[in-house]
């Protein structure tokens, strides 16, 4: 089950609360009854290692220019007709 972070609007205290995705967000602190607001937290993802982008996402050399070659070949074929 996901853990959500809430802030107590009266005291400024932040706390975590485990609840199902389908459950509505808390509006009051479960222990004190003070009003609370759910905070948006960043996603916990980290890309580690050198060259992750270079080796996995980007083409190098002539492979990356394949689209440009096709369009120039098509234009040359049109000139001959």
44 within some domain: no
Number of domains in the chain: 1
What angle (nearest 5°) sits at the alpha carbon of residue 79, between those of residues 75 and 81? 120
Rounded mean pLDDT of the chain?
77
22 within some domain: yes
Rounded to the nearest 5°, which phi and psi values hold at 54? -65, -45
17 within some domain: yes
**Domain boundaries, position 27:** 3-39
* pLDDT digits 0-9 by tens, 20-53: 999 999 999 999 999 999 999 888 787 776 655 5
**pTM for this model (two decimals):** 0.53
21 within some domain: yes
CB 1 within 8 A of CB 18: yes
Instruction: Identify the pLDDT of residue 3.
Output: 92
What angle (nearest 5°) sits at the alpha carbon of residue 8, between those of residues 25 and 39? 50
15 within some domain: yes
Helices (H), the chain: 52-56, 66-80
Mean pLDDT of 64-72: 50
């Amino acid at each position: 089950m996901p853990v959500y972070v809430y802030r107590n609007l009266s005291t400024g205290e932040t706390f975590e609360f485990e609840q199902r995705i389908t459950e509505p967000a808390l509006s009051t602190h479960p222990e004190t009854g003070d009003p609370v607001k759910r905070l948006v937290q960043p996603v916990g993802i980290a890309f580690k290692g050198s060259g992750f982008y270079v080796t996995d996402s980007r083409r190098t050399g002539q492979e990356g220019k394949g689209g440009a070659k096709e369009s120039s070949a098509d234009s040359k074929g049109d000139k001959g007709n």
